[in-house]
A and B are shown apart, each in its own frame.
Chain A
Amino acid sequence: MNLSEEAERLQELLKSRRHERRRHDTWLTVQIARNKDRPRTSEYIGYLIEGFEELKGDRLRADDRAVIGGLGWFDGRAVVVVGHQKGRTLDEQTRHSFGMAKPEGYRKAQRLFALAERHRLAVLTFVDTPGAYPGVAAEEGGQARAIADTMLAMARLSVPVIATLIGEGGSGGALALAVADRVLMQENATYSVISPEGCAAILWRDAEFAPQAAEALRPTASQLLPLGVIDRVIEEPRGGAHVNPEGAARRVHEAIGEALTELEQLPPRERRLLRRERFRRLGVWGGEGLLP
């Protein structure tokens, strides 16, 4: 037997084990991110925000319960809070459309952002959604435009904006509330361009390959940090945020507080330009050296 052959064989084995391990870990994270007992936006508001006053409605036609928002005090500062709300019991989940926002939800967010800008209040968002609501009425009510407008509204704010991913970060519906100066992400949250099931159905032609798709999409906080998609991973208590919501909220509180203190040092105009610059840099491409 040849030694180098044996070494190669072991290398291959190690590689495939690592692969399996990563697939297992990623899929586990997807499951935790979707855990029904995971603290929701409303619970983080309860832990982090004092004197919360919910503000409802988009001022056009409806109040989408998939997005909640309002005013409150965070460490002595008045802030605007906006987040997806999923609910826990089946009844709650139905009422909140499982956190899938319709155009009226995004328009509610827009009006709250405008309120924040007018009165110089920092904006805190919480992201937890499988994606935007996929329905005929939502589509025909301008879902695409509503998402685009919400992103642009966030991009244009001159007050500090901090987004925290606390569960599922599903596609454009999630990103609409995450065009922020700082994007924080809990250890067991996910953030992805498409659900693992959706990706598997298209690329593997079989939704059963969701774990494989999840692994390939690299949707976890530790995988997204080096890509610059997020700025900080927030640790969770052992076993996940649902095991100890208060402990999870304490760490979220600390991370938001530190980010906010940093952002408060910047002049308003600079915040907006730096936020634009943050998103301009995102992406990986080559060929720069090919032209002078």
Chain B
Amino acid sequence: MTVTVEIARRGNGPQGRRWVCPSCHADHDPAAVKTNLSVCPACGYHDRIGARERIAQLADGATFVEYWGHLRTLDPLEFVDLEPYPERVREAQAASGVGEAIVAGTATIDDVPCVLAVMDFGFMGGSMGSVVGEKLWRAAAAAADGGRPFVAVASSGGARMQEGALSLMQMAKTTCAVDLLNDARVPFVAVMADPCTGGVVASFVSLADICVAEPGALLYFSGPRVISQTTREQLPADFGTAERNLALGHLDAVVPRAELKTTLASYLRLLKGGGQHDRLERRAGSRFGGGRTRRLARAASARVAAAFKNPGSEPVGGGGAASGAPEEPPA
């Protein structure tokens, strides 16, 4: 797993405060770029954006309500590299304008209520430490409890080195958070924004029901440098790009930023739109099942069993009673 430090890649344009596209080098009025969702109007390069800007782009109006923002970063290892960890956190807060590398809360996206968690690469490379893991857990638990879909936008260099093995444990913790969502059958859609690497990709993000990326985003577990140092392999020029990952089958879609909101809403509506065919079974489930529904369910399964035993009898709707199913062997 690599934990990346932020690399300044924004072109420092001429002093006229123009925004220079790092990809096509055309310069634009920063305000015009912003209204274009921070996508280069000339070449479509998707610039990195912070959590607040992302939330403003995805959430309807002022529907976003932040939760769990009170959780504070501590320094359990008293970690000091070239400077102490608390110092780095303070600098990151000042530079990014967010308290930690993830901002989470509730919102509606095109009128679909959901829990939304957005990572901020500007905060220590979007790295995942204890607070990020805990916020993800709480957000997922709130989604699971409330039956609200969970949308996560990830942009991260991986696990945060300064919290050592505790950061590593957040991979397992967020994986368990996905397990909560799956148990509750609550939809989970993940968006990978540039860059999305290391421990975050190898945990909750990859486990989403639907996983999409923004155009041009770099996505990988081990980075080009680690690979070339360890194995001396020649890397393909487009290694790790969203487009290559799509071709390799690792993504459901590459979605341009302009279409992200409507696409997410469509996914959520679809994932919440099923279940009409198993109403009976659901009512008979141990959680809601009264005596009557349970009896009905038992009768239904008896009918299915009977259909298998006597291929000539009345067809039974659903249940996957394929024709020519073998009879049960004699006991």
Contact = CB atoms under 8 A, between A and B. Distances in A.
Interface string B217-254: 00011100011001101011001100010001110000
B70 A283 contact: no
Contact of B130 (A176, A283, A290): A283
A60 interface: no
B173 A283 contact: yes
B184 to A, nearest CB: 13
Q: How large is the interface on B (under 10, 10 to 19, 20 to 34, 35 or more residues)?
A: 35 or more
Contacts of B207: 148-149, 152
B72 interface: yes
Contacts of B249: 142
A123 interface: no
B165 A155 contact: no
Nearest to B227: A134
Nearest to B131: A285
Nearest to A191: B165
A283 B169 contact: yes
Interface string B266-279: 00000000000000
Contacts of A99: none
Contacts of B130: 282-285
A134 B235 contact: no
B227 A193 contact: no
Contact of A172 (B166, B171, B204, B226): B171
Contacts of B77: 216-218
B290 interface: no
A193 B71 contact: no
B98 interface: no
Interface string B135-178: 00100000000000000000000011101111111111101101
A132 interface: yes
A284 B76 contact: yes
Contacts of B114: none
A227 B165 contact: yes
B81 A213 contact: yes
A171 B231 CA distance: 18
A239 interface: no
Interface in A127-176: 131-132, 134-136, 138-140, 142-145, 147-149, 151-152, 155-156, 171-173, 175-176
A203 interface: yes
A219 interface: yes
Interface stretch (B11-19, B195-203, B296-304): B195-203
B222 A193 contact: no
Q: By CB atoms of chain B within 10 A, which of A136, A285, A290 has the most? A: A285
A203 B161 contact: yes
Contacts of B1: 131-132, 171-173, 193-194
Given A194-B1, A224-B165, A144 B220 contact: yes
Contacts of B72: 285-287, 290
B21 interface: no
Contact of A139 (B74, B76, B170, B221): B221
B5 A227 contact: no
Given A171-B168, A194-B161, A179 B221 contact: no
Contact of B165 (A152, A218, A276): A218
B81 A203 contact: yes
Contacts of B250: 142, 144-145
A143 B221 contact: yes
Interface string A196-234: 001100111000000011001111000010010100000
A155 B81 contact: no
B71 A219 contact: no
Contacts of B129: 283
A216 B77 CA distance: 7
B76 A143 contact: no
A253 B206 CA distance: 36
A147 B169 contact: no
A283 B172 contact: no
Given A198-B226, A218-B77, A151 B134 contact: no
26 contacts: A135-B231, A135-B233, A136-B233, A136-B235, A142-B248, A143-B222, A144-B205, A148-B203, A148-B204, A149-B206, A155-B179, A171-B1, A176-B202, A179-B175, A193-B161, A194-B161, A218-B77, A219-B165, A224-B165, A229-B166, A279-B173, A280-B137, A282-B170, A283-B133, A284-B130, A284-B166
Interface of B: 1-5, 70-74, 76-77, 79-82, 129-131, 133-134, 137, 159-161, 163-173, 175-176, 178-180, 198-199, 201-207, 220-222, 226-227, 230-231, 233, 235-236, 239-240, 244, 248-250
Chain A to chain B: the 4 pairs with minimum beta-carbon distance, closest first: A283-B130, A134-B222, A287-B72, A203-B81
Given A155-B179, A175-B169, A283-B131, 17 more contacts: A132-B222, A134-B230, A135-B230, A144-B201, A144-B250, A148-B175, A176-B202, A179-B175, A194-B161, A199-B3, A203-B82, A213-B81, A282-B170, A282-B172, A285-B131, A285-B134, A290-B70
